Structure 1
Amino acid sequence: MKPSHIPFNKPFVIGKELFYIAQAVMSGTISGDGMFTKRCQKWLEEQLGCPKSLLVHSCTAALEMAAMLIDVGHGDEIIMPSFTFVSTANAFVLRGAVPVFVDIRPDTLNIDERLIEAAITPRTKAIVAVHYAGRACAMQALQDICRRHKLHLIEDAAQAILTEHDGRMLGTFGDLGCLSFHETKNVICGEGGALLINNPELIERAEILWQKGTNRHAYLRGAVDKYTWVDIGSSFLPSELTAAFLFAQLEQAESVIAHRRQLHAKYHELLRPLEHDGRIELPVLNGDYAHNAHLFYVLCKDIEERTELIQHLGERSISAVFHYVPLHDSPAGLFFGRAHGELPVTQNVSARLLRLPVYAEMTGQDVERVADAVRDFYVARSSGSTVRSSRDIAALNNTSIHETATSPL
């Protein structure tokens, strides 16, 4: 009998999603900025601790708003990792800016803060911190760099909802933070996102951009007597149906993430012997880099081994997938941006990283089945070759693993 399929990801309903959607329809407002939009925004402001949040139709939209709010223009340079989704770069390229790609750390797979200052030029406008797998970038170091060079700090916290770092939630350190509620994330609404405005000076204009460049919010508050076009903007609002679904998810967010953390810990426990034997690498765990268990990955020996492992798991009805192709050597990345240096860790990690299934309805038995299949793959292999790790690559860059794991935040 063929075993049941374990998908890589599975959208889920966990609370009052359908009930709230019905409420939204009955309220008479489903076009956006209604009761559930306001509830979601209030939840984000209270739970994350940010002065203002605006619900948008995607994290891509939040990033585009961020680029508009800091007045990114032609020729500006935006420092970011190459190991990220295309939206991180697209949002700034659309405003005429040049993405400057910097290598990542081998422990967190986040932008390497020690390489940033060498990439700064007189054209540099901002740094984008991408919190990979819901784990924090070195935010204190990034804040210090931005202060010294008078740069904006933007957080691409698409994967990082409810990850706490240094007593604050990710997404609230920079001038602006961007969240995703895409169906692959911990908290979902199909397509959706939020812009967190942490710099109070940007709040009023953010509301204008959000409302298609009009002063509608000021008009509704009675601050102005005319409702008119005053700035650039676009249609960033999600519908109330989306917001209603999302609010039900936000109500259960802590329990969803707690369950995912249990799955993450179980994967780590079951696969640790393979790491001990030098067959794979697992996510580095330490207290400085808390996470929300957005994803669980392993690093294989090379791209060939990863391809074979994907096929092996697929034959056992288990879906596992690789992740980003580096932006700096993609066709658009070569045309619109530039790399600062060779980015050896990015190249190494992107060829070897494999994401294993993690989703809300997954059980501990599912994790055991996936881990067993991974172990079976390595037991069956005759090769005893040692994994060439991303830490080895970092060493070639004159960075010891001890320095990498313990650098100041």
Structure 2
Amino acid sequence: MINIPFNKPYLTGKELFYIEDAVKKGKISGNGYYTQLCQKYFESKYGFNKCLLTTSCTDALEMAAILIDIKEGDEVIMPSYTFVSTANAFVLRGAKIVFADSRLDHPGIDEDQLESLITSKTKAIVPVHYAGVACDMDKIMNLANQYGLYVIEDAAQAIDSFYTGKDGIKKALGSIGHLAAFSFHETKNIISGEGGMLAINDRKFAERAEIIWEKGTNRSAFFRGEVDKYGWVDIGSSFLPSEIIAAFLWAQLENLEDIQQVRIAHWENYHQKLQEWTSDNLIQLPVIPSYATNNGHMFYLICKNLKQRTTIIDNLKSEGILSVFHYISLHRSQFYKGKNFNTVLKQTDIFSDCLLRLPMYYELKVEDVIYKITEK
């Protein structure tokens, strides 16, 4: 019996109230009152030029691939240690995915390897801010500017996390690249069950993004009175969520500061109390680079090998605590290997075999997990 799950969705108490209010307003399809409220919140708080809520982070990534006109033969560089949606969005448009290895100290992309992967066919770099911890965006943006590439931040786990560049300016993750995708899946800090958002930082994409979002029509412009009728003007799909999802999300956003404080406190408690135990067992704790902040999205351990990780998972499960491993490297997937690519990414494979995620959610009693881990 699992007494401490890996994740437990947190309800602030106002979700049902706002959902009922959305119904009473007489519009529960997309792009209504709560959708616009959430979008304006993100634009104001984090400095995104334009935000569009989506039904998932996957949809936001697919919109990004359409916006930068990914075509057959284009190459897109991204880490192998990520969720399949990061790659699928571009594969669906015909791109070849070029996988980069992880850093030595962190599962995020190895920025120093990127230039060697750029070819005449490269169109974009997709850094993934793993665990909400920033990639070195100065290095990535400098490369992108040098070679004329787009940067799409996969910020699925990175809400309310920041990067400080060499200029000393602190910027929200998702506000630095040309485009960025966020997730509000129930495992994230701020949730709506399923849900996501596209952040459009390059203004040249703003108008077309809205059209793609609205099934390829200029419907939004029509409702603003900018055109006298609307019709099919581009490709697109039904990427926008219902007002029910947006209303739920708004209740979460009202409590973002409290949620973040609690999750970060959980993270710091883990980090402090597990230092001696991990050192004794040759296990590594997560690293936060000096230029990054910690948003308390996840707490993970890097075990010394696969056997040790499996033993810890099994021991915790026997005590009613669910811990999990994370991604299986995409370059080792059946789909990718079936393309006859011979990609060797040593550091990524280490994380795939050795990274262990501990329970992390608002109502978690971290001490209970720590006690069961360290007594073994």
Scaled by the length of structure 1, what TM-score is found?
0.89
Q: Please point out which of 340, 344, 347 is paired with 2:346.
A: 344
**Deviation at residue 371 of structure 1 after TM alignment:** 1.4
Q: Give the SS at the match of 1:168.
A: strand
Q: Aligned residue for 2:167?
A: none
Flag the 1:239–1:6 CA change in 2: closer, same or farther, 3 A: same
Equivalent-residue separation in structure 1 for 2:338 and 2:37 (angstroms): 42
User: Do the aligned partners of 1:302 and 1:351 also contact (CA within 8 Å) in 2?
Assistant: yes
Per-residue Cα deviation, 1:19-60 (whole angstroms, up to 9, x for no partner): 000000111111111100000100110111111000000000
Equivalent-residue separation in structure 2 for 1:22 and 1:29 (angstroms): 11
Higher mean alpha-carbon deviation, 46-55 vs 366-375, is at 366-375
**Deviation at residue 91 of structure 1 after TM alignment:** 0.3
Flag the 1:314–1:232 CA change in 2: closer, same or farther, 3 A: same
Q: State whether structure 2 residue 260 is matched by structure 1 residue 261.
A: no
Higher mean alpha-carbon deviation, 30-39 vs 270-279, is at 270-279
Q: Aligned residue for 2:179?
A: 176
Flag the 1:185–1:337 CA change in 2: closer, same or farther, 3 A: farther
Equivalent-residue separation in structure 2 for 1:313 and 1:145 (angstroms): 44
Letter of the aligned partner of 1:373 in structure 2? K
Q: Please point out which of 114, 120, 123 is paired with 2:121.
A: 123
Letter of the aligned partner of 1:245 in structure 2? F
Q: Please point out which of 18, 39, 42 is paired with 1:20.
A: 18
Q: Quick one: percent identity of the two aligned structures? A: 52
Equivalent-residue separation in structure 2 for 1:337 and 1:18 (angstroms): 50
User: Do the aligned partners of 1:160 and 1:291 also contact (CA within 8 Å) in 2?
Assistant: no
Letter of the aligned partner of 1:79 in structure 2? I
Q: State whether structure 2 residue 246 is matched by structure 1 residue 243.
A: yes
Equivalent-residue separation in structure 2 for 1:336 and 1:41 (angstroms): 39
Letter of the aligned partner of 1:237 in structure 2? L
Scaled by the length of structure 2, what TM-score is found?
0.96
Query: What are the equivalent positions in structure 2 for 1:180-329 lying under 5 Å apart?
Result: 180-329=183-332
Query: What are the equivalent positions in structure 2 for 1:328-339 lying under 5 Å apart?
Result: 328-335=331-338, 338=341
Query: What are the equivalent positions in structure 2 for 1:39-58 lying under 5 Å apart?
Result: 39-58=37-56
**Deviation at residue 13 of structure 1 after TM alignment:** 0.7
**Deviation at residue 286 of structure 1 after TM alignment:** 4.3
User: Do the aligned partners of 2:133 and 2:293 also contact (CA within 8 Å) in 1?
Assistant: yes
Letter of the aligned partner of 1:130 in structure 2? V
Q: Aligned residue for 1:390?
A: none
The number of residues matched between the two structures is: 371
Equivalent-residue separation in structure 1 for 2:282 and 2:366 (angstroms): 19
Equivalent-residue separation in structure 2 for 1:296 and 1:152 (angstroms): 31
Q: Give the SS at the match of 2:97.
A: strand
Per-residue Cα deviation, 1:88-139 (whole angstroms, up to 9, x for no partner): 0000000000110000112231100110010011110000010000000000
Equivalent-residue separation in structure 2 for 1:74 and 1:169 (angstroms): 32
Equivalent-residue separation in structure 2 for 1:270 and 1:154 (angstroms): 36
Higher mean alpha-carbon deviation, 60-69 vs 101-110, is at 101-110
**Deviation at residue 333 of structure 1 after TM alignment:** 1.9
User: Do the aligned partners of 1:298 and 1:355 also contact (CA within 8 Å) in 2?
Assistant: yes
Q: CA RMSD in A?
A: 1.3
Q: Give the SS at the match of 2:300.
A: strand
**Deviation at residue 274 of structure 1 after TM alignment:** 2.1
Equivalent-residue separation in structure 2 for 1:94 and 1:282 (angstroms): 36
Equivalent-residue separation in structure 2 for 1:138 and 1:89 (angstroms): 20
Higher mean alpha-carbon deviation, 126-135 vs 326-335, is at 326-335
Per-residue Cα deviation, 1:277-311 (whole angstroms, up to 9, x for no partner): 35311001443221211000011121111111111
Equivalent-residue separation in structure 1 for 2:244 and 2:223 (angstroms): 22
Q: Which 5+ residue runs of structure 2 have no aligned equivalent? A: 165-169
Q: Which 5+ residue runs of structure 1 have no aligned equivalent? A: 378-409
**Deviation at residue 212 of structure 1 after TM alignment:** 0.2
Higher mean alpha-carbon deviation, 315-324 vs 327-336, is at 327-336
**Deviation at residue 146 of structure 1 after TM alignment:** 0.1
Equivalent-residue separation in structure 1 for 2:336 and 2:284 (angstroms): 28
Higher mean alpha-carbon deviation, 182-191 vs 108-117, is at 108-117
**Deviation at residue 337 of structure 1 after TM alignment:** 8.5
User: Do the aligned partners of 1:79 and 1:102 also contact (CA within 8 Å) in 2?
Assistant: yes
Q: Give the SS at the match of 1:137.
A: coil
Q: Aligned residue for 1:71?
A: 69
Equivalent-residue separation in structure 2 for 1:275 and 1:337 (angstroms): 39
User: Do the aligned partners of 2:288 and 2:294 also contact (CA within 8 Å) in 1?
Assistant: no
Equivalent-residue separation in structure 1 for 2:101 and 2:371 (angstroms): 33
Q: Give the SS at the match of 1:288.
A: coil
User: Do the aligned partners of 1:15 and 1:249 also contact (CA within 8 Å) in 2?
Assistant: no
